[in-house]
Amino acid sequence: QMSSMTNLWFIVYKLRPSTACVLHTHSMYAQLATMLDATETSHELHLTHLEMIKGVGNHAYDDKLIVPIINNQRSESLLGPDLERVLVQYPKCNAVLVRRHGVYVWGDSWEQAKTQLECFDYLFESAVRMKSMGVDCGVVPVHGQEQDQKKMKIHHHENVEQKTDKKKDDEVAIKQCSKKRSLEEMENGHAESTTPYSNGNRNGSGNGNSSDKK
């Protein structure tokens, strides 16, 4: 007898052609993660700045991981339309949560699917525990590596500006010194050219009296 979820597998295979394995679990933390919104109207679970995000594929630590949530049905075979809709709507996703039910995860091999399932379950547990601590798993932390890097960039930028300003001041000072030196040299040169001959030339010619004058 075929599984009641056979139609769901084929939806995943159709919309994610590289998929070789689809896994489904009734994980405690998967179902709790669908109820983090007290109104149970949210259709997405957002997670960011958690190391295990790297393990689910297509995401880095500081990316925002969005896991779509679809509503549960009386029979799993009825989940097909909603599953197909979110796979089209979220092209990067490789997992779908079912509210108060569990999760579907897939991969290009059974090993990859199993690894990603374990990473997702770890993230769901993190989200539930963070909620109990009053921390939103979908919000960028106020303190941390990213903020420290921003502060370092700002500090570096300020240092560059200070060095640039100092360089400009030095250039202005050098120009002023050069201009002052040039003026002094011009004044000294003018004095040398006029003072010795102000009362006649070195041989007594000019308007001065000559000893040879008869």
Active-site residue list: 51
Rounded CA gap, 214 and 210, in Å?
Answer: 9
Closest CA to 126 of 18, 36, 4: 36
- Please tell me whether residue 24 adopts helix, strand or coil conformation: strand
Instruction: Give residue for tokens 């949530």.
Output: 69
Compute CA 85 distance to the chain's CA centroid, rounded to the nearest angstrom: 30
210 phi and psi angles, rounded to 5 deg: -105, 140
14 phi and psi angles, rounded to 5 deg: -70, -45
Run of H or E including 32: helix 28-33
Q: How many helical (H) and strand (E) elements, i.e. helices and strands, does the chain have?
A: 5, 5
Rounded CA gap, 214 and 199, in Å?
Answer: 20
